[in-house]
Amino acid sequence: MRLELYHAPQSTCSQKVRIGLAEKRLDWTERRVNLAKNEQLRPEYLALNPNGVVPTLVHDGKVIVDSSVILEYLDEVFPEVRLSPADPARRAEMRSWMRFFEEVPTPAIRVPSFHMALAHRFHELDEETFRKTQSDVRPVRKNFYRRMGPHGFSDEDVAAALDELKRTIERMEKALAAGPWLLGDDYTLADIVVTPSIDRMNDLGLSSAWSDKPRVAAWYARMQARPAFKQAYMPGSRLSEFMTIKSLSVPVPV
Ligand SMILES: N[C@@H](CCC(=O)N[C@@H](CS)C(=O)NCC(=O)O)C(=O)O
SS (H, E, C) the chain: CCEEEEECCCCHHHHHHHHHHHHCCCCCEEEECCHHHCHHHCHHHHHHCCCCCCCEEEECCEEEECHHHHHHHHHHHCCCCCCCCCCHHHHHHHHHHHHHHHHCHHHHHHHHHHHHCHHHHHCCCCHHHHHHHHHCCCCCCHHHHHHHCCCCCCHHHHHHHHHHHHHHHHHHHHHHHHCCECEECECCHHHHHHHHHHHHHHHCCCHHHHCCCHHHHHHHHHHHHCHHHHHHCCCCCCHHHCCCCCCCCCCCCC
Ligand 1 near 40 CB (within 6 A) = yes
Supply the mean pLDDT for the chain.
97
Q: Is the pLDDT of residue 254 over 80?
A: no
Contact 111, 161 (CB under 8 A): yes
Say how many Å lie between the CA of residue 218 and the centre of ligand 1.
28
Identify the CA nearest to 234 among candidates 28, 75, 57. Answer: 28
Contact 56, 6 (CB under 8 A): yes
Ligand 1 near 12 CB (within 6 A) = yes
Residue nearest ligand 1's atom 18 by CA = 66
Phi, psi of 235 (to 5 degrees): -55, 140
**pLDDT, mean of residues 154-158:** 97
Say how many Å lie between the CA of residue 146 and the centre of ligand 1.
16
Ligand 1 near 54 CB (within 6 A) = yes
Which amino acid, one-letter code, is at 212? Answer: D
Q: Which atom of ligand 1 is nearest to the CA of 54?
A: 12
Q: Which atom of ligand 1 is nearest to the CA of 70?
A: 20
Q: What is the pLDDT of residue 204?
A: 97
**pLDDT of 38-60, one tens digit each?**
999 999 999 999 999 999 999 99
Band of pLDDT at residue 155, cut at 50, 70 and 90: very high
Q: What is the pLDDT of residue 250?
A: 87
Q: What is the pLDDT of residue 50?
A: 98
Residue 179 neighbours by CB under 8 Å, 6+ apart? 215, 218, 219
How many C-beta atoms surround the C-beta of residue 227 within 10 A? 10
Ligand 1 near 56 CB (within 6 A) = no
Q: Is the pLDDT of residue 242 over 90?
A: yes
The residues facing 62 across adjacent strands are 59
**pLDDT, mean of residues 63-73:** 98
The Cα 227–Cα 223 span in angstroms is 9
Say how many Å lie between the CA of residue 133 and the centre of ligand 1.
18
The Cα 16–Cα 1 span in angstroms is 21
Q: Is the pLDDT of residue 161 over 80?
A: yes
Say how many Å lie between the CA of residue 214 and the centre of ligand 1.
30
Q: Is the pLDDT of residue 253 over 90?
A: no
**pLDDT of 225-240, one tens digit each?**
999 999 999 999 999 9
Q: Which atom of ligand 1 is nearest to the CA of 12?
A: 10
**pLDDT of 107-122, one tens digit each?**
999 999 999 999 999 9
Q: Is the pLDDT of residue 99 over 90?
A: yes
Q: Which of 34, 53, 70, 140, when mutated, tests ligand 1's pocket best, judged by the most ligand atoms within 8 Å of its CB?
A: 53
Say how many Å lie between the CA of residue 67 and the centre of ligand 1.
9
